[in-house]
Homo-oligomer: A and B are copies of this chain.
């Protein structure tokens, strides 16, 4: 008993997508709807898979099935395949379950031979048309099926045109075309040593094989790799009787979108060409006309098309992209599929569909790709502007920015504080540059990958950033960079576009992002559906306000180290670090206290009514000191230049201290709560600043402030216990001193494996968990993020050793397992434990889905990702509901 490999359109439907491919399934569906579809049948993807399994042989029985289907098709059309009377011509098209536009092969007009052209002439009385079909067929078949060089045919064609003294294809008359056909057949004979196959059945079987083979052509393989489409799906083959849009001025071919794919506006959008076949549109020889003009030119066909569009949209519950042909005034539909659209259009279409009663809200929510809408949430270059692109780097953080070039963080900060727009340009950034980043409009680096320091920081702050732009040769000393022979100096104006990676000379007009009213509606619907809370990672009052505007329900991660980096604080921070003992350290901390307090007051006030999770100091202290290598160079130069001994000694002292703090693996070093355990006075100062800020706000009548203190890098329950005692004691002291009861909530990051493995012990001392999945991914894989990106991760993904960059998409199998363990262990001792995530995965849709399934309470992401997260959280809730209903 063999499988069924061939389905007539009447036997298929859109639910058979996997078996019949997108094209075959939708043609069958349209036929079932009674729409005018030229009859045909589809050979299944299973046949293709079997073909490969058999090492490139058509499976047993397939040929018989095809021939039977062909006979049925002859009956249906009243035509004969290869017949001299009413010949049946067919198209043979590829079509996988996943759209791979243009990647695989197609043969049109198949069935023509010397007999059939006579029959076709009888039908059409148009010799030129018939011969044109024939030469096109031989050329296409020769190229696609016989794998002959396209250029050989073009050369032969050109020679004939030269002989005939014509320039354009359309100018060839029947006589010329007849010679072309002869030449083409000779060409085939010469190149293959065989005659061009006359038997249309042979032609068909050869074409089917060729389409199967095209599944594995180079560009299809690359396309699948890029788009992460599995290699083992295979393609279906649809064989359909030909209709001709090139049978006169009452014939046409075209493409229509049921709505405007840019804006989503409810209007037919597309173009058509009279007296033409599809390939003419592609070739761009004649300029197609906008679809709206068809209403006047071909009113009948147009109104039928409009009806079909409306019917298909309602039927598919989605905006469609339709190919059609008009043959002598009669409309035929050749393909329909879900239409590609901009994010703006996707949102508008989804919301309009609900308003039009076509779909419900839940369905609308599922129609918009969360990743897609990211693009709507950043400032972008006005698409109508002319720009001078200097170079292209990696698009690290979307958004466009214009400003003067500045080569160091101090100057960036100075100019930025003066209100100047600045683009900070560095070979790469380090945490030392943070204060400059804060005051810049955009960041541009010549080194680094998508997840280098600059990229991460910029994304976190929603600032445009282009990295790894290695065409830039930066000379920091001379304060200029060159691109080829062009020189850009400090103070020159450039623009960057972090969505495209463009570096542009001069200013560009920039468009502000805004949430359209449709998008707002969609997000409100999402809020009604999702179970996950959505917070934002924000370190400044400005970020906090942006987060609120985008719908964040609190701050999930407020980093305090950025506050340490600003120019007025860094010297005090360095003094604290270099302190000889606890007393000297405490004196520096005393001066930091009021500054930190002010920071916290502003953020807490901006987020009143919502929780603000403040993480105590996390990075290793040496990040606040100058670079040792620079010091070494300075000392070496000073020595050889005979500088005064005392000056050298001073530098050597600084170097000694920086060296003493330097670490082999800072990521795994003296940071996080390890600082708090060894120097409790640092964390105590921070806790005091938080609680004093809280008390001050309460005294000012702002009583709904909700600080939450988060201890980073906990790996052992005694760490959190000790730190919690410290924070609680400080809250107690502040409450007493200020005469106001301040709320004290203490929780921990879960960001090293040991924390997850012992989450039950840790939960005893924590009121909340927040997964720091950036670090957790680093430690679980043993990947240093900086090093992995630059050195081997690219290779890993290319060689398919890893499916995704685990820093972008949470690794469910490994890191996710630790997350699930921690949730389970934590709740086993504290059922009401609040659990969130504040790693960058918190803004990534697939990872958000995982967070939902793992039972987290909220995700926290950069402010610009908040709408994305709201939508993704709703979708995952809907998917879960769907799965529950289905089971």
Q: In the bound complex, do residue A801 and residue B640 qualify as a contact, i.e. CB atoms below 8 Å apart? A: no
A792 near B670 (CB under 8 angstroms)?
Answer: yes
Interface centre among A640, A641, A713, A782 (most CB of B within 10 A): A782
Query: Does A700 count as interface, using CB distance less than 8 angstroms?
Result: no
Q: Are B722 and A799 in contact (CB under 8 A)?
A: yes
Complex Cα–Cα for A153 and B318 (A) = 102
Taking CB as reference atom, which chain B residue is nearest A801? B718
Residues on B with C-beta less than 8 A from A713 are 782
- Nearest to A621 among chain B residues (CB) is B791
A640 CB contacts on chain B under 8 angstroms = 636-637, 640-641
Q: How far is the CA of A628 from the CA of B633 in the complex (A)?
A: 12
Chain B residues positioned under 8 Å from A781 (CB to CB): 715, 752, 754
A786 to B783, CA, bound (A): 18
Contact with B along A781-801 (1 / 0, CB 8 A): 111101110011001100111
How long is the Cα–Cα vector from A314 to B158 in the complex, in angstroms?
Answer: 114
Contact flags A610-648 to B (C-beta < 8 A → 1, else 0): 000000000000000000110011001101110000000
Q: Given A716-B802, A795-B677, are A667 and B668 neighbors across the interface (CB < 8 Å)?
A: yes
For residue A844, CB closer than 8 A to chain B, the reply is no
**Count class of interface residues, chain A:** 35 or more
In-complex Cβ contact of A667 among B665, B751, B815 (8 A): B665
For the complex, what is the distance from the CA of A718 to the CA of B799, rounded to whole Å?
10
Stretch with Cβ within 8 A of B (4 or more), from A195-203, A352-360, A772-780 = A772-780
Q: Which residues of B contact A791 (CB under 8 A)?
A: 663, 669-670, 674, 678
**Does A664 make an interface contact (CB < 8 A)?**
yes
Contacts of A811 in B (CB 8 A): 754
B632 touches A753 (CB 8 A): no
- Residues on B with beta carbons closer than 8 Å to the beta carbon of A735: none
Is A784 in contact with B663, judged by CB distance below 8 angstroms? yes
Interface residues of A in 686-709 (CB under 8 A from B): none
Q: Is the CB of A664 within 8 A of B787?
A: yes
A719 at the B interface (CB under 8 A): yes
User: A677 is contacted by which of B636, B753, B796 (Cβ under 8 Å)?
Assistant: B796
CA distance A789 to B752 in the complex (A): 18
* Assembly CA distance A663 to B664 (angstroms): 9
CA distance A780 to B628 in the complex (A): 29
Q: Give Cα A227–Cα B670 distance, bound, in whole angstroms.
A: 27
Asked if A814 lies at the interface with its beta carbon under 8 angstroms from chain B, I say: yes
Q: In the complex, how many angstroms separate the beta carbon of A276 from the nearest chain B beta carbon? A: 50
Chain A 646-677, CB-CB to B under 8 Å as 1, else 0, gives 00000000000000000111111110101001
Q: Is the interface of A mostly helix, strand, loop or mixed?
A: helix
Contact of A752 (CB < 8 Å), options: B633, B668, B782: B782
Judged by a CB distance under 8 angstroms, whether A818 is at the interface is yes
A153 to chain B, nearest CB (A): 39
Contacts of A761 in B (CB 8 A): 813
Chain B residue at minimal CB-CB distance from A713 = B782
Contacts of A813 in B (CB 8 A): 757-758, 761
A719 touches B801 (CB 8 A): yes
Contact with B along A110-149 (1 / 0, CB 8 A): 0000000000000000000000000000000000000000
**Known A629-B628, A637-B640, A795-B677; contact A670-B787, beta-carbon cutoff 8 A:** yes
Asked if A4 is at the interface (CB within 8 A of a chain B CB), the reply is: no
Q: How far is the CB of A766 from chain B (nearest CB, A)?
A: 16
Partner among B664, B716, B780, B788 whose Cβ is within 8 Å of the Cβ of A754:
B780
A817 interface contact, C-beta 8 A: yes
Q: In the complex, A713 Cα to B784 Cα: how many Å?
A: 13
Query: Is the CB–CB distance between A752 and B780 below 8 Å?
Result: yes
Establish whether residues A815 and B636, one from each chain, have CB atoms under 8 Å apart when the complex forms.
no
- Chain A 699-738 against B: per-residue CB contact (8 Å), 1 yes, 0 no? 0000000000000010110110010000000000000000
Are B667 and A786 touching (Cβ within 8 A)?
Answer: no
- Tell me the complex Cα distance, A166–B664, Å: 67
A196 to B544, CA, bound (A): 73
Q: A742-773 interface mask toward B, CB cutoff 8 Å, 1 = contact, 0 = none?
A: 00000000011110011001000000000000
Q: How far is the CA of A775 from the CA of B754 in the complex (A)?
A: 13
Asked whether B815 lies within 8 Å of A754 as measured between CB atoms, the reply is yes
* Bound-complex Cα distance A176 to B740 (A): 71
Query: Which residue on B lies nearest to A674, using beta carbons?
Result: B792
CB-CB nearest in chain B for A811:
B754
In the bound complex, do residue B663 and residue A802 qualify as a contact, i.e. CB atoms below 8 Å apart?
Answer: no
**A215 shortest CB reach to chain B, Å:** 24
B637 near A784 with CB under 8 A, answer no
Cα-based distance from A632 to B636 in the complex (angstroms): 9
B719→A669 contact, CB < 8 A: no
Docked Cα-Cα span, A781 to B674, in Å, equals: 12
Residue in B636, B780, B783, B814 whose beta carbon sits within 8 Å of that of A637 in the complex: B636
Chain B, Cβ-Cβ closest to A660: B790
Q: Report which of B665, B722, B786, B788 forms a contact with A786, defined as CB distance below 8 A.
A: B665
| Residue from B716, B782, B817 in contact with A668 in the complex, judged by beta carbons closer than 8 Å | B782
B775–A753 CB distance below 8 A: no
- How distant is the Cα of A796 from the Cα of B713 in the complex, in angstroms? 14
Whole-angstrom CA separation of A783 from B778 in the bound complex = 12
Q: By the criterion CB–CB under 8 Å, are A722 and B801 in contact?
A: yes
Our pick among B637, B757, B796 for the contact of A817 (Cβ within 8 Å) is B757
**In contact, A677 and B801 (Cβ under 8 angstroms):** yes
Task: Evaluate contact between A751 and B782: CB separation under 8 angstroms.
Answer: yes
- In whole Å, how far is A807's beta carbon from the nearest beta carbon of chain B? 12
CB distance from A392 to the nearest CB of B (A): 22
A761 to B665 Cα, complex, angstroms: 29
Task: List the interface of chain A (C-beta within 8 A of B).
Answer: 628-629, 632-633, 636-637, 639-641, 663-670, 672, 674, 677-678, 713, 715-716, 718-719, 722, 751-754, 757-758, 761, 775, 778-784, 786-788, 791-792, 795-796, 799-802, 811, 813-815, 817-818
Known: A670-B787, A718-B801. 5 other contacts (CB 8 A): A664-B784, A665-B668, A668-B787, A670-B791, A757-B818
8 shortest interchain CB distances as A-B pairs: A752-B782, A665-B784, A668-B784, A669-B787, A754-B814, A670-B791, A640-B640, A636-B636
